[in-house]
Chains A and B, each alone.
Chain A
């Protein structure tokens, strides 16, 4: 699942700026960046005492000193249109601003139903 998100968010360029996307943590110096991580998983389908399917929720955190909305729109487009993820409005955050670093930050939550568990293969 992490590989899928890396694939979806790779080579992102917004307003001429390249936006790197990393799992959990990005060690940068002032540029725009994206981090992502699994946030939650909800059991949705069980049978024969086994979990058959579940919904997984991923947080995509966008950090920028430039135009936050443009990057957010690009992330939504890639995740929803290209990746078939569902944007979770209620799980996403409002726009945030850190005055000490000048970074705008927004957490976007996306969900996807998973039926084939990797560890069952």
Chain B
């Protein structure tokens, strides 16, 4: 019967063992490369001045429930109030809680209002601040082919060219 015999060099086997051992690290680097690609696009597309500096990349982590490896892109911190104001106060409705802050406007809130728009905004003082017209920028920053390419490049680099 015809048969085929192939020999791997010891070096190749060692490399394959290393790739198997470092799989989590390789996958982590791949997700980070994808996240960096998205963060760069988000900063580029951001329509609100100052919001781009609040785009952050999380640490790479493993989810305990399914063993998935992920890196997130998110908005962090606060933006200064408009018009030089130092404080925001919202009186509670009947039975509700009063809310006040001197921190500023949460960047994630600004991002959401920009991405999806708002209804008519009226302050407690009765000041009409109009509608924020939606300007989608975050979802547009997830370009599938760019993310895949960045992840494949990271895979090749981290595996030493084996994958």
Contact = CB atoms under 8 A, between A and B. Distances in A.
B60 to A, nearest CB: 20
Contact of A101 (B112, B119, B134, B140): B119
A98 B119 contact: yes
A40 B122 CA distance: 30
Of B116, B120, B133, most A-chain CB atoms within 10 Å: B116
Contacts of A93: 112, 115-116
Contacts of B115: 93
A102 to B, nearest CB: 9
B136 interface: yes
Given A42-B144, A61-B134, A100 B121 contact: yes
A98 B136 contact: no
B22 to A, nearest CB: 30
A92 B136 CA distance: 11
Contact of A98 (B90, B118, B144): B118
A93 B116 CA distance: 8
B145 to A, nearest CB: 9
A108 to B, nearest CB: 11
A104 to B, nearest CB: 10
B117 interface: yes
A105 B140 contact: no
B110 to A, nearest CB: 14
A63 interface: yes
Nearest to A63: B119
B139 interface: yes
Contacts of A103: 119
Contacts of B139: 39-40, 57, 91, 109
A23 interface: no
Interface in B110-163: 112, 115-123, 133-134, 136, 139-140, 143-144
14 contacts: A39-B136, A39-B139, A39-B140, A40-B136, A40-B139, A42-B144, A57-B139, A63-B119, A91-B139, A93-B116, A98-B118, A103-B119, A105-B117, A107-B134
